[in-house]
Amino acid sequence: MHVFFNIWHWFWALFGCSLNLLLIYAAIFKSPRAIRTYATLIINFAITDLLECLLDLFIQIRLIPAPGDVSITYVLNGLCKYISPLACKLGTSFFLHCIPHAVWSLLLSFGYRYYILHNAALTRGTIVKILIIVYIPSLFQGLTYWTTFVDRDEILPKAREWFPDYNWDAETGVITGILDVTDWAAAYGICHLCLPIFPVYTAIFIFRRKIIAHLKASTNMMAKETKAAHAQLLKALTFQAFIPAFVGVAVCCYFVSQSGAVVSPVLEYSVFSSVILMPALSPLTYLLFVRPYRQFLRNKQDVSAKTAKFESTGASPSRFETPGTIVH
């Protein structure tokens, strides 16, 4: 089981890193004028998701809540175990802070799309200032949550008491945990992780309904380029709105485990095995549904295909190209 989930994390994290790097490049260099300001929000998404994928590789969390108790045990099987327990604690804290920031950023994206339907677009500087304000609660979580983690010697006796059937001596990862989730820093972190997801979902779908209604009512008054840009971004945001459902699954798994309704290693691994799907798949919503980014991706695929063809046939690209021009 451990091997399966280890491979799962490696695959999705590396896949997500690749896509998010592509999206960052596309958003910086391939954004048309119509969405250039909004591209600032896209870059924020991509950087957050890239960091989350990298940190998932670094920590690979197995979350083991004590059923009916106020304690949590973490087993960290990522690369951090080769550095130090402190590195694992810090990595976990900053990995977890990426999750609510991504959720708040998604709400901000929908809110901004609705705002510019009725007002002039904001400047990039204003967007950056808003992002900083939105980021403050998540940053506070990242800076404080790790302070609630105790060392292996403190949490392990409790873990043996709660889960006597588990072979704790065979665990190769870093074992840490929280003895009391009602501690203010732990309570803030857990609440900030778990509580916003469902109200934010509700707000997102309200914004989406209002945006669609406005676009339908204003179709004849919009310039063709503006209407196309709105339609592309709305489609991307609509699909992206379903991506955080993976966080909803993780939250449900956590509450089921914490309540003691189900006690299973599969459930413990599943909490963050489902979370990694969000940053790994999220960039696809832009790379596939925003035309300039989709075209950029297709061009990359065409170049790769031609390069592979040249290498397999031994032909030189110069036979098919003139300087600065590729014959399609």
pLDDT band at 326 (very low <50, low <70, confident <90, very high): very low
The string of pLDDT tens digits covering residues 107-157 is 998 899 889 888 888 999 999 999 999 999 999 999 999 999 999 999 999
pLDDT band at 319 (very low <50, low <70, confident <90, very high): very low
Mean pLDDT over 204-233 rounds to 76
Mean pLDDT over 6-31 rounds to 95
Contacts of the segment 140-143: beta carbons below 8 A, 24+ positions apart: 140/188, 141/93, 141/96, 141/97, 141/100, 141/188, 141/189, 141/192, 141/193, 142/93, 142/94, 142/96, 142/97, 143/93
Q: How far is CA 328 from CA 2, 296, 318, in A?
A: 48, 15, 14
Could you tell me what percent of the chain has a pLDDT over 90? 50
Question: How many residues does the structure list for the chain?
Answer: 328
Output the pLDDT for position 322.
Answer: 38
Could you tell me what percent of the chain has a pLDDT over 70? 88
The model's pTM is: 0.86
Q: Quick check: 320 pLDDT over 50?
A: no
Output the pLDDT for position 286.
Answer: 87
The string of pLDDT tens digits covering residues 219-253 is 667 677 777 766 776 677 677 778 778 888 888 88
pLDDT band at 23 (very low <50, low <70, confident <90, very high): very high
Maximum Cα–Cα distance across the chain? 73
Q: Quick check: 78 pLDDT over 80?
A: yes
Mean pLDDT over 204-212 rounds to 85
Q: How far is CA 112 from CA 93, 151, 207, 235, in A?
A: 29, 43, 10, 15
Mean pLDDT lowest for which of 172-176, 213-217, 316-320? Answer: 316-320
Distance between CA 124 and CA 130 in Å, rounded?
10
Q: Which residues, including other chains, have CB under 8 Å from residue 27's CB and lie 6 or more apart?
A: 39, 42, 43, 46, 286, 293
Q: Quick check: 20 pLDDT over 90?
A: yes
Output the pLDDT for position 328.
Answer: 31
Output the pLDDT for position 191.
Answer: 93
Nearest of 245, 239, 135 to residue 201 by alpha carbon = 245
Higher pLDDT, 239 or 313: 239
Q: Can you list the alpha helix ranges (DSSP code H) found in 219-264? A: 224-242, 245-259
Supply the mean pLDDT for the chain: 86
Is 83 buried (19+), middle (13-18) or exposed (0-12) by CB count in 10 A?
middle
Q: Which residues, including other chains, have CB under 8 Å from residue 308's CB and lie 6 or more apart?
A: none
Beta carbons of 328 and 321 less than 8 angstroms apart: no
Q: Quick check: 193 pLDDT over 70?
A: yes
The string of pLDDT tens digits covering residues 264-289 is 888 899 999 999 999 999 999 889 88
User: How far does the chain reach from its first CA to its final CA, in angstroms?
Assistant: 48
